[in-house]
Amino acid sequence: MFAITLSLVLTGCAQGTMPNSWPPSDHRGPCAVAKKSDVPATMRDGTILRADIYRPKLKDPVPVILMRTQYGKDTAQIQPSRFRTPDWFASHCYLVVVQDVRGQGTSDGIFTEFGNDADDGYDTVEWAAGLPGATGKVGMYGSSYVGATQWLAATTTPPHLTTIVPSNTASDYYDGWTYEGGAFRLGFVQPWAMGTIATTAAKNRGDLAALKQLQAAAAERGRWLNHLPYQDLPPMQPGDLRVAPWYFDWIRHSTRTTTGSAGASGTGIRMSRFRCCISKAGTTRSYAGVWRTSQA
């Protein structure tokens, strides 16, 4: 589905070079691919960010697929439930760029959550659009924080950004991401910060002692969570609806996300140099709970 979405928007792939047996039976594309690692891109403040570039071996220019990741460009969020490899996408005749965000992986600078991804996103999109062999059209993809890097880049309206495909991310990074009902989500933010941000910073500094402390702290946190004084719920009685609100609280965020168009489903959203559409299939709602449907 992802490849189909991009192919519809990022038109310009050299169709004349593709064999008649498109698509191949193994689901890879027809293009041979060459990889170049740690390609530098200079941001507006002089900070150097580095990317791996997967280039299809074609004479004609092709669109760019860009991932700006906080989780390490070497992994590129390759998971069966998420994305294929960058090499796989490049085999379908796209120029694929996977970049470490500022202060993470091989990129210079200091990472600040959400702090630089708007400007860095703009600069990176425009840099990628000008790479040799690029048509000038750039699409972005990725999930979780990598979805945030797309939203933030889109807010700056880079002239060459045509598509974003954020997944498994939020529509509101304050409520439901960092805070829930005004309460700081320590259980969500702390493991993420300790397991990715702090450990990467320690590795980049060569501070092995700090790295060991962080890893030990993460393990200790899990041990304490397993010994919290949880109490069993009282037995449910027929017709007891006390637990149902818990389910609705649990799914509240996803429901808000799918209904966030406030009845505008099917209409277009227009921003300067950027356009997206809300699905005409209509809004969806998820319901879960425990309730009695009959007296039997």
Number of domains in the chain: 3
Q: Does residue 91 fall inside a structural domain?
A: yes
Q: Is residue 259 part of a domain?
A: yes
Whole-angstrom distance, CA of residue 116 vs CA of residue 259: 29
Q: Are residues 114 and 219 in the same domain?
A: no
The answer to whether residues 103 and 186 belong to one domain is: no
Residue 232, in any domain of the structure? no
* 217 domain-assigned: yes
Verify that 179 and 105 share a domain, yes or no. Answer: no
Of 98 and 6, more confident: 98
- Domain hosting 259: range is 239-291
Q: Does 182 lie in the same domain as 117?
A: no
- Shared-domain flag, residues 60 and 155: yes
Domain boundary among 182, 206, 227: 227
The fraction of the chain above a pLDDT of 70, given in percent, is 61
280 and 185 in a common domain: no
Q: Are residues 10 and 142 in the same domain?
A: yes
Same domain, 261 and 189: no
Together in a domain, 83 and 148: yes
pLDDT at residue 112 greater than cutoff 50: yes
Considering the domain architecture, whether residues 45 and 64 belong to the same structural domain is answered as yes
Mean pLDDT of 103-121: 90
Over the stretch 5-60, which tens digit does the pLDDT of each residue have? 444 345 444 443 444 444 444 688 899 999 999 999 999 999 999 999 999 999 99
Highest-confidence range of 138-142, 206-210, 283-287, by mean pLDDT? 138-142
Co-location of 6 and 65 in the same domain: yes
Identify whether residues 14 and 89 lie together within a single domain: yes
Per the domain annotation, does 118 fall within a domain? yes
